[in-house]
Copies of this chain bind each other. A is one copy, B any other.
Amino acid sequence: MSIILGPNRYGKAENRVVRIYRDSPRHEIHDISVSTALRGDFASAHLAGDQLNVLPTDTQKQTAYSFAKEKGLLSIENYGLDLAAHFVDTVEPVHTARVEIEEFAWQRVLIDGSEHDHTWVRRGQEVRTAAITVEGRGADRRTWVVGGLKDLVILKSTGSEFAGFMQDPYTLLQPTSDRVMATSLTAGWRFSTTDVDWEATYDGIKQVLVSQFATVHSLALQQTLYEMGRAVLEAFPVVAEVRLSAPNKHHFLYDLSPFGVANDNEVYHAADRPYGLIQATVLHDDAADAGPAWDSYTGLV
């Protein structure tokens, strides 16, 4: 029995790159947090402290900033593809590079009804995400792109039930035919190709997710999530798989009866913790293997 090194990776996390396009008086802004992680032949660094194969994380940082100019930073998926390919193609010991990006959206301020050329407020709604994995060179090259969003807080004040559920001796919950349903959605969608109009696709998928949440009469959050994923797959053939994670942000009807005040689904307490947490995957039955597409850098290896 001997002790061995298992999976490992390293990189630079949360580089805060802001790119201004100022070729005309009407500037553009792209604001991201980008993390890069490399896997490959780094055993000697772990076993012997030998850094010969280790490209410093500082170098990865420099590259991330420089590529915002060299390659541009328009669609985060393209930027991530360029950056990941660079590490695999130019750093010999690297077998796989992963680039994870969060993009913070800005919207132009309106002055007398017109969009301003160079002033924005942070939109503050959901964060757009992308995770790009590039593995191997030449004929062995494989690429996975996962688009996504997080922190999309969405609520419907009716059109949601929860009833007919299983009961056991610990079950106190009463069924309800009309409740507030709210979540802070995290979603990821795995592309089956890189030949994608990234911007239109992002906007379109977000719209589908939101529309389904609004218009599906919900018998449970599970059902809503499935219908959201299904609709994305139907509308966007470039997507092979959708994963959804939805905390059930409980809004408890507040009991005002002790004060002689009626409360017909009007006053709620928005609770912090605990919360339900529902997660689902919806995919094409012939989707290619996900490989490392979903191996987030924020977890353990």
Nearest-CB residue, chain B, relative to A219: B49
CB–CB A5/B282 < 8 A: yes
CB–CB A49/B223 < 8 A: yes
Inter-chain contacts of A168 with B (CB < 8 A) = 55, 59, 90-91
| A106-122 near B? 1/0 per residue, CB < 8 Å | 10010100001011111
Inter-chain contacts of A170 with B (CB < 8 A) = 59, 62-63, 66, 259
What is the bound-complex CA distance between A10 and B274, given in angstroms? 13
Show 17 residue pairs from A and B whose CB-CB distance is below 8 angstroms, ordered by the A residue: A8-B278, A12-B274, A18-B180, A20-B265, A20-B268, A47-B223, A51-B219, A55-B168, A69-B267, A91-B166, A109-B210, A109-B213, A116-B214, A118-B157, A118-B158, A119-B210, A120-B154
Partner of A8, one of B45, B93, B268, B280: B280
Inter-chain contacts of A296 with B (CB < 8 A) = 299-300
| A19-37 near B? 1/0 per residue, CB < 8 Å | 1111000010101010101
Interface residue ranges of A221-269 to B (CB < 8 Å) = 222-223, 225-226, 230, 233-234, 241, 243-245, 247-248, 251, 254, 256, 258-259, 261-269
What is the bound-complex CA distance between A100 and B57, given in angstroms? 32
Interface pick from A134-142, A193-201, A283-291: A283-291
Inter-chain contacts of A119 with B (CB < 8 A) = 154-157, 159, 210, 213-214
Q: Assuming the A-B contacts A56-B171, A122-B154, A275-B12, are A18 and B251 also in contact, with contact meaning beta carbons closer than 8 angstroms in the complex?
A: yes
Q: Assuming the A-B contacts A173-B59, A279-B10, are A165 and B54 also in contact, with contact meaning beta carbons closer than 8 angstroms in the complex?
A: yes
Inter-chain contacts of A65 with B (CB < 8 A) = 254, 256, 267, 269
Inter-chain contacts of A286 with B (CB < 8 A) = 1
Q: Does A152 contact B (CB under 8 A)?
A: yes
Nearest-CB residue, chain B, relative to A146: B300
CB–CB A222/B8 < 8 A: yes
Inter-chain contacts of A188 with B (CB < 8 A) = 300
CB–CB A37/B69 < 8 A: no
